[in-house]
Amino acid sequence: MDNIQIVIDGPAGAGKSTISKIVAEQLGFLYIDTGAMYRAVGLKALSLNYDTKNDSNLIAQLMDNIKIDLKHGDNGQQVFLDDKNVTAEIRTPEVSIAASDVSAIPAVRISLANIQRKLAKQNNIVMDGRDIGSYVLPNADIKIFLTASLEDRAKRRYNELLKKGKDVSFENVLSDMNYRDTNDSNRELAPLVVPDGAIVIDTTGNTLEQSIKLLSDTIKERLNCLLK
């Protein structure tokens, strides 16, 4: 049998990466956080002082030479940009916005989608993102669309940032998330949509533990049917 592809799409802050990572560990599959790749491109554009909303041509050219590696070790997924570990650096609010901006550039999407498809060919994967089930791997074995209300997602992200000691206001987190939702859903190539055949899971009001259980039970049930 070919490698198994489990894909989890959804808007920012729905808990995709936290939950996908845990489910991948439970199954012994490779976890691939495609948002981290867009964040690495966003970080590179910012480090060159590019305007991430308007310098599309310059940012597209970056894709010819950029080196993005996701390495998996004891400390979880580590993200390397041009051989430098940027795992922490890509998680700032500025990089979130830059990632959303650069993700609207077709050359960036095409280049990252190629890397993602290669990874999926070589491993059993749990891959999360915005367009994995609709564009990158439309024939994936299991497709999930994980979502929650904007307010709930912003609250979760706000609490995460506070825990990391960041000085942020809830209003800013909410407005950044709203900006990203609009951006991610309205770009021309591969916007955020519910993929055909996806199971929609809404985690509004759930605790993280409840969401993890819901997702992991759903995936295991589907996987059992698939492997029968």
- The count of residues in the chain is 228
Q: Which residue has the tokens 């491109």?
A: 41
**Which tokens in the block code for residue 190?**
């591969």
Q: Is 120 in the site for ligand DC (CB under 6 A)?
A: no
Closer residue to ligand DC (CB): 141 or 184: 184
Q: Which of residues 176-215 bind ligand DC (CB under 6 A)?
A: 180, 184
Residue 213 in tokens: 């259980």
User: Between residue 19 and residue 48, which ones bind ligand DC under the rule CB under 6 A?
Assistant: 34-35, 38-39
For position 14 contacting ligand DC by CB under 6 A, the verdict is no
Q: How many CA atoms lie within 13 Å of 28's alpha carbon, on the beta-carbon side?
A: 1
Q: How many CB atoms are located within 10 Å of the residue 148 CB?
A: 22
Q: How far is the CB of 97 from ligand DC (least distance, A)?
A: 8
Helix locations, the chain, DSSP H: 16-27, 34-47, 56-62, 93-102, 106-122, 150-163, 170-186, 208-227
Minimum distance of ligand DC from residue 6's CB (angstroms): 14
Segment interacting with ligand DC (CB under 6 A) among 124-132, 147-155, 169-177, 208-216: 124-132
Q: Do the Cβ atoms of 70 and 78 come closer than 8 Å?
A: yes
Closest approach of Cβ 140 to ligand DC, in Å?
13
Residue 35 or 195 with smaller CB distance to ligand DC: 35
Q: Which residues bind ligand DC (CB under 6 A)?
A: 12, 34-35, 38-39, 99-100, 103, 129-132, 180, 184
